[in-house]
């Protein structure tokens, strides 16, 4: 693709005079847009977590645990959850750069609950302007020195960072929403190829490592990108790359693997255990109809609700809306003489769209017989753990933004008033099409009932009931109120058996002996609240607990019992 050229780029000295002010302006502009789009969240940074009560509660525990950890070993194994045995955190959902930022900032601003919530929410929101600015510079580089490239690059940054998929992930998964390093990885990698520069390649490897530490899925997607680019070079040149062009991706991957080795080696070892392979590779996929169905946060969400109710996965993983305005712009651009400039970006979109579609093509929740390359990936050791193919949408949106930028530059070159008015109208409609609504938040406050546990200075654990995945996430956040280890709790992969797996519930006398031996001093019975804390029959007969244990507090939210 001829547009991947450094012709017209400024020199390093020129960049120091020109690009820094531009960078600040771009970052400030996208930060302002973030504040406008997500104002409902901005107004409650210290009192509510971004997103509905789901995995976001686990994400906050990650930030709290990192900020209060006694040492780096606590980040690889902990007894704060799954007490008393504890659990490995090898496969856990840490967004390492994000929790590192929270930890560092907590040293300055404090680590009380309200402050940690503010820092956690701000680091989530920061992914929007940072990702947009990163995509801006990648696209600006690809466009070359042509009129209108800054406007096109700004549109690309907006599409990459403010698309509905990223909004959905920010409400549920801190690690998946930390996407800001991916465009920099691509940018540094392309420059390294063009300049045959080891320095730029080292930068690409560093960005690849940071992306992987944000979400380990991104390690695979970075590898897939390099594979795609090799195929692109093969198609363009008519032969497979040799020399530097072939060595560079191998060197980049090897350097990133070396940087990641303290985390990657134990992860690879655990990945050989098939018990950590969860279902999802043919469930959490990009459904064909969802590409253009209005997602739950769209202004016209009701029109797409039927499709999102029918897809095989959940709505936030299945949010893959590309935008009807973007589709119209691309359709127009493909009629233009310069349409060849779109082919690289469109090829990248198609490549990652196939990966995002999983093992077989899904249409309106129906699994068709058309099998895709994902069926091979789902059978490979370690690769099979990438169980949510739809997350490959991160690269689909990156390439979509680049394609839209090329289209806008094409229109800008017409230099007619009508063409430029059309570009302005398209930008306005794009903003409207991606404007988020129905932004859920989860209010968090420490219940008074937990104060007695917090004041107890002994070494013990706390059993929260009822059990269940969503409840376990909630207990993780609530444990930040009392700071004690809990028997329940969730990790991205269950890495071992603990007391929670073998808890006696039919014979409470036997359970009391079990808890006493394990030094579990308190039992907290949570009462139903929304979709959380509905009692499970598997946890025994709820009224019997008050007869077996001493009641310390009995309120609307919870009942606190003392075991010994």
Q: What is the pLDDT of residues 523-532, one digit of tens each?
A: 999 999 988 9
Task: Check the CA dihedral 201-184-326-299 and report its sign.
Answer: positive
Strands 48-50 and 441-443: antiparallel
In the predicted model, is pLDDT for residue 4 greater than 50?
A: no
Percentage helix, strand, coil for the chain under 3-state DSSP, each rounded to 5: 60, 10, 30
Backbone angles phi, psi at 367, to 5 degrees: -85, 115
Q: What is the pLDDT of residues 506-517, one digit of tens each?
A: 999 999 999 999
Using pLDDT thresholds of 50, 70 and 90, give the confidence band for residue 8. Answer: very low
In the predicted model, is pLDDT for residue 15 greater than 50?
A: no
Phi-psi region at 562: left, alpha or beta (left = phi > 0; alpha = psi -120 to 50): beta
Backbone angles phi, psi at 449, to 5 degrees: -60, -25
Q: What is the pLDDT of residues 171-228, one digit of tens each?
A: 999 999 999 999 999 999 999 999 999 999 999 999 999 999 999 899 999 999 999 9
Give the ranges where 110-216 is alpha helix by DSSP (H): 113-143, 149-162, 164-172, 174-177, 182-195, 198-214
Which residues in 40-126 belong to E strands, given as ranges? 48-50, 77-78, 87-88
pLDDT at 148: 86
3 state SS of 78: strand
Question: Residues 6 or more apart from 371 whose CB is under 8 A from it?
Answer: 359, 360
In the predicted model, is pLDDT for residue 7 greater than 60?
A: no
Average pLDDT over residues 234-250: 94
Answer for the pair 525, 536: CB distance below 8 angstroms, yes or no.
Answer: no
Q: What is the pLDDT of residues 326-349, one digit of tens each?
A: 999 999 999 998 899 999 999 999
pLDDT at 492: 83
The half-sphere exposure of 78 on its side-chain side, counting CA atoms within 13 A, is: 30
For residue 461, list its beta bridge partners. Answer: 485, 520
Q: What is the pLDDT of residues 60-96, one digit of tens each?
A: 999 999 999 988 889 999 999 999 999 999 889 999 9
Average pLDDT, the chain: 92
For residue 462, give the H/E element and its range: strand 461-465
142: DSSP letter: H
For residue 486, list its beta bridge partners. Answer: 462
Using pLDDT thresholds of 50, 70 and 90, give the confidence band for residue 494. Answer: confident
Using pLDDT thresholds of 50, 70 and 90, give the confidence band for residue 268. Answer: confident
Using pLDDT thresholds of 50, 70 and 90, give the confidence band for residue 10. Answer: very low
Average pLDDT over residues 257-285: 76
pLDDT at 14: 45
506: DSSP letter: S
Residue linked to tokens 């525990």: 61
pLDDT at 271: 55
In the predicted model, is pLDDT for residue 2 greater than 70?
A: no
Q: How far apart are CA 361 and CA 372, in angstroms?
A: 7
Q: How far apart are CA 361 and CA 363, in angstroms?
A: 7
Determine the Cα angle at 454 with ends 173 and 473, to 5°.
20
In the predicted model, is pLDDT for residue 139 greater than 80?
A: yes
Using pLDDT thresholds of 50, 70 and 90, give the confidence band for residue 30. Answer: very high
Residue linked to tokens 């469109």: 346
Q: Which of 335, 337, 352 is nearest to 401 (CA)?
A: 352
Give the residue extent of every domain in the chain. 12-180+277-433, 183-273, 446-562
Which long-range contacts (C-beta less than 8 Å, at least 24 apart) are formed by 201-209? 201/248, 201/251, 201/252, 201/255, 202/255, 204/252, 205/251, 205/252, 205/253, 205/255, 205/256, 205/259, 206/256, 206/259, 207/181, 207/182, 208/252, 208/253, 208/256, 209/256, 209/259, 209/260
The half-sphere exposure of 300 on its side-chain side, counting CA atoms within 13 A, is: 11
Using pLDDT thresholds of 50, 70 and 90, give the confidence band for residue 419. Answer: low
Q: Which of 146, 158, 134 is nearest to 338 (CA)?
A: 146
pLDDT at 1: 40
Question: Residues 6 or more apart from 339 whose CB is under 8 A from it?
Answer: 333
């Amino acid at each position: 693709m001829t547009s991947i050229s450094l012709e017209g780029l400024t020199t390093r000295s020129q960049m120091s005079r020109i690009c820094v002010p531009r960078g600040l302006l771009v970052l400030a502009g996208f930060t302002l847009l973030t504040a406008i789009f997500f104002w409902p969240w901005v107004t409650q940074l210290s009192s509510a977590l971004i997103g509905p009560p789901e995995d976001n509660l686990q994400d906050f525990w990650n930030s709290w645990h990192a900020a209060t950890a006694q040492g780096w070993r606590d980040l690889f194994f902990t007894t704060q959850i799954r007490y008393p045995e504890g659990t490995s955190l090898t496969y856990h959902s840490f967004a390492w750069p994000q929790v590192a930022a929270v930890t560092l900032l907590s040293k300055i601003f404090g680590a009380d609950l309200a402050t940690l919530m503010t820092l956690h929410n701000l680091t989530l929101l920061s992914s929007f302007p940072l990702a947009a600015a990163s995509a801006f510079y990648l696209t600006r580089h690809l466009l070359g020195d042509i009129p209108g490239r800054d406007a096109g690059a700004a549109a690309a940054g907006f599409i990459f960072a403010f698309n509905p998929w990223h909004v959905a992930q920010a409400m549920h998964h801190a690690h998946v929403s930390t996407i800001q390093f991916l465009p920099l990885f691509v940018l540094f990698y392309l420059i390294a190829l063009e300049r045959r520069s080891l320095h730029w390649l080292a930068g690409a490897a560093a960005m690849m490592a940071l992306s992987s530490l944000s979400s380990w899925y991104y390690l695979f997607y970075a590898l897939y990108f390099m594979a795609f680019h090799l195929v692109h070079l093969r198609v363009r040149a008519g032969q497979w790359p040799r020399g530097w062009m072939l060595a560079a991706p191998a060197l980049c991957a090897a350097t990133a693997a070396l940087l990641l080795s303290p985390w990657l080696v134990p992860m690879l070892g655990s990945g050989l255990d098939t018990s950590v392979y969860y279902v999802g590779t043919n469930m959490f996929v990009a459904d064909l109809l969802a590409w253009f169905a209005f997602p739950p946060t769209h202004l016209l969400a009701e029109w797409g609700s039927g499709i999102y109710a029918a897809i095989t996965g959940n709505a936030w993983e299945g949010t893959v809306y590309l935008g009807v305005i973007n589709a119209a712009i691309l359709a127009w651009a493909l009629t233009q003489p310069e349409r060849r400039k779109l082919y690289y970006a469109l090829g990248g979109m198609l490549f990652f769209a196939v990966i995002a579609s999983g093992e077989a093509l899904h249409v309106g929740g129906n699994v068709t017989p058309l099998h895709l390359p994902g069926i091979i990936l789902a059978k490979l050791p370690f690769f099979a753990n990438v169980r949510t193919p739809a997350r490959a949408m991160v690269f689909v949106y990156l390439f979509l933004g680049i394609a839209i930028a090329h289209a806008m530059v094409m229109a800008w070159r017409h230099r007619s008033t009508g063409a430029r008015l059309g570009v302005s109208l398209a930008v306005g409609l794009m903003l409207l099409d991606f404007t988020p609504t129905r932004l859920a938040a989860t209010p968090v406050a420490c219940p008074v009932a937990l104060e007695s546990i917090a004041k107890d200075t002994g070494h013990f654990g706390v059993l929260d009931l009822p059990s269940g995945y969503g409840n376990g996430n909630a207990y993780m956040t609530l444990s930040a109120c009392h700071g004690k280890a809990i028997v329940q709790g969730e990790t991205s992969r269950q890495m071992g058996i603990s007391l929670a797996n073998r808890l006696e519930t039919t014979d409470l006398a036997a359970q009391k002996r079990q808890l006493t031996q394990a030094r579990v001093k308190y039992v907290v019975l949570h009462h139903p609240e929304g979709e959380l804390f509905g009692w499970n029959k598997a946890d025994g007969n709820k009224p019997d607990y008050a007869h077996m244990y001493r009641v310390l507090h009995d309120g609307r939210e919870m009942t606190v019992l003392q075991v010994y």
